Structure 1
Amino acid sequence: MFPVTSFLSCTEPIDQLECFSTRQKHHAKTYVTGLVAASNKTVQGISNYVLPAKSERALNKFLTEYNWDEDQLNKERLALLQQMNDTKWSSDGVVIIDDTFTHKTGENIPNAGKFYDHTIRGYIWGQNLVYALYADEKTTYPLGFRLYEKDAQRRVELAIELVDELIEIGVRRDTYLFDMSYCSQEFVTHLETYGKEWFSAVKSDARVLYGGERIRVDALAERIDTVPRTIDGETYHIWTQKRDVSRLGEVKLLITTKKASDEDDELSVKYIVSNKIDAPASHLIALYAMRWRVETFFRDTKQDLGFGDCELRHAAGASRHWHLLMLAYSLLKLGTAHSALGTILERATSLRNDIKRSFRESVENLLSWALNSPNRSTDELMHQIEGMFV
Structure 2
Amino acid sequence: MLIRPLPVVTAFLDALNDSLKSINSSAQLSRSQKVALGVFIMGIVVTKTINWAAFERRSLGRFKATRLCWMFYQAEIAWQSLLQASVRNILLRYGIQSGTLAIDDTGKKRTKRTSKIDGAHKIKDKSTGGYFNGQELVFMVLVTEVATFPVGFRFYIPDPELSAWRKKDKALRKQGIQKKERPNRPEPDHVRYPTMQSLTLVMLQEFVDSFPNITIKAILADALYGTGDFMDKAAEITGGAQVVSQLRSNQKVSNRNYSEATLKAYFSRQKGAETQLIIRGDKEEQVTMLAARLYVKAHGKRRFVIALKYEGEEDYRYLVASDMSWRHTDIARIYTLRWLVEVFIQDWKAHCGWNRLSKQQGADGSQRGVILSLLCEHMLLLHPEQFVLLKNKQAGMPAGCLIERLNAEALLATVKSVVESEDPDTELKALALALEHTLPKRESSRHMAGRDLGEQKATDSLKAHARKFKLLDAA
Relative to the length of structure 2, the TM-score reads 0.74
Distance 1:186 1:339 in 2: 42
User: What corresponds to 2:78 in structure 1?
Assistant: 69
Q: For structure 2, which runs of at least 5 residues remain unmatched after alignment?
A: 21-27, 160-192, 279-283, 442-475
Number of matched residues?
A: 380
CA distance in 1, matches of 2:38, 2:234: 37
Q: Secondary structure at the match of 1:376?
A: helix
What is the aligned counterpart of 1:163 among 204, 207, 214? 204
Match of 1:240 in 2: 291
Change in Cα spacing, 1:189 to 1:39, as seen in structure 2 (3 Å) is: closer
- Stretches of structure 1 lacking an aligned partner (at least 5 in a row): 260-264
1:104 alignment counterpart? 110
Cα separation, 2, equivalents of 1:343 and 1:121: 43
1:89 Cα deviation from its structure 2 partner: 2.5
> 1:304, 1:214 → 2: CA distance?
49
1:377 shift after superposition: 6.2
* 2:318 counterpart (243, 248, 271): 271
Distance 1:185 1:342, change over 3 A: closer
**1:223 match: secondary structure:** coil
How far apart are 1:67 and its partner, in Å?
1.2
Task: Look up the equivalent residue of 2:320 and give its one-letter code.
Answer: V
Which of 409, 430, 433 pairs up with 1:383? 433
- Name the structure 1 match of 2:468: none
Matched-pair contact (CA < 8 Å) for 2:57–2:439: yes
CA apart distance, 1:39: 4.5
Partners of 1:297 and 1:350 within 8 A in 2: no
1:299 and 2:346 correspond: yes
For the structure 1 residues 89 and 31, does the alpha-carbon distance in structure 2 shift closer, same or farther, using more than 3 Å as the test? same
Contact 2:56 2:63 in 1 (8 A): yes
CA shift, 1:182, in A, is 1.5
**Is residue 2:140 matched to residue 1:95?**
no
Is residue 387 of structure 2 the alignment partner of residue 338 of structure 1? Answer: yes
Separation of aligned partners in 2, 1:122 and 1:4? 39
Q: TM-score, normalised by structure 1?
A: 0.90
Q: How far, CA to CA, are the matches of 2:250 and 2:418 in structure 1?
A: 64
Does residue 201 of structure 1 match 2:246? yes
Alignment of 1:40-59 (within 5 A): 40-51=49-60, 54-59=63-68
Opposite residue 15 of structure 1, the aligned amino acid is D
Matching residue of 1:3: 2
Q: What's the offset of the Cα at 1:145?
A: 0.7
Preserved contact between residue 237 and residue 256 of structure 1 (Cα < 8 Å): yes
What is the deviation of 1:162?
0.7
RMSD of equivalent CA atoms: 2.3
Conserved? CA contact 2:52–2:68, under 8 Å: yes
The letter of the residue matching 1:361 is E
| Alpha-carbon separation, structure 2, partners of 1:229 and 1:254 | 14
Deviations 1:84-132 (CA, angstroms, capped at 9, x unpaired): 23xx4243x1011111111111412110111112233221211101111
CA contact (8 A) 1:84 1:337 kept: no
Q: What is the CA distance between 1:321 and its match in structure 2?
A: 1.2
Contact 1:166/1:172 (<8 A) preserved: no
- Where 1:133 maps in the other structure, the secondary structure is strand
Partner in structure 2 of residue 262 of structure 1:
none
- What is the letter of the counterpart of residue 256 of structure 1? L
Query: How far 1:340 moved relative to its partner?
Result: 4.7
Q: Is the 8 A contact 1:156 1:182 kept in 2?
A: yes
The answer (yes or no) to whether the contact 1:30–1:52 under 8 Å persists in 2 is no
Of 205-214 and 148-157, more deviation after overlay is shown by: 205-214
Counterpart pick for 1:253 among 288, 305, 311: 305
CA contact (8 A) 2:245 2:319 kept: yes
Structure having the higher strand fraction is 1
Counterpart CA distance in 2 for 1:222 and 1:324 is 49
Question: Which of 201, 210, 224 is equivalent to 1:181?
Answer: 224
| Contact 1:132 1:143 (C-alpha < 8 Å) held by counterparts | yes
| Contact preservation (8 Å) 2:140, 2:152 | yes
Q: Distance in 2 between matches of 1:279 and 1:113?
A: 40
Q: Which amino acid aligns with 1:292?
A: W
Which of the numbers 341, 365, 368 marks the counterpart of 1:317? 365
For residue 216 of structure 2, give the secondary structure of its aligned residue in structure 1: coil
Following the alignment from structure 1 to structure 2, what is the Cα–Cα distance between the partners of residues 257 and 310?
40
1:258 and 1:268 in contact (8 A); partners too: no
The residue identity in structure 2 corresponding to 1:26 is V
Cα-to-partner distance string for 1:154-188 (whole Å, 9 max, x where unaligned): 11111111111111111542311111111222211
- 2:77, 2:395 → 1: CA distance? 34
Aligned to 1:220: 266
Residue of structure 2 in register with 1:130 after alignment: 138
Structure 2 counterparts to residues 106-121 of structure 1, below 5 A: 106-108=113-115, 109-121=117-129
Output the CA distance in 1 between the equivalents of 2:130 and 2:6.
Answer: 40
- Provide the C-alpha distance between the structure 1 equivalents of 2:275 and 2:400, rounded to a whole number of angstroms: 34
Tell me, yes or no, if structure 1 residue 190 matches structure 2 residue 241.
no
Question: What is the match of residue 23 of structure 2?
Answer: none
Kept in 1: contact 2:104–2:138 (CA 8 A): yes
What's the CA shift for 1:356?
2.5
The match for 1:283 is 330
Mapped partners of 1:280, 1:31: distance in 2: 47
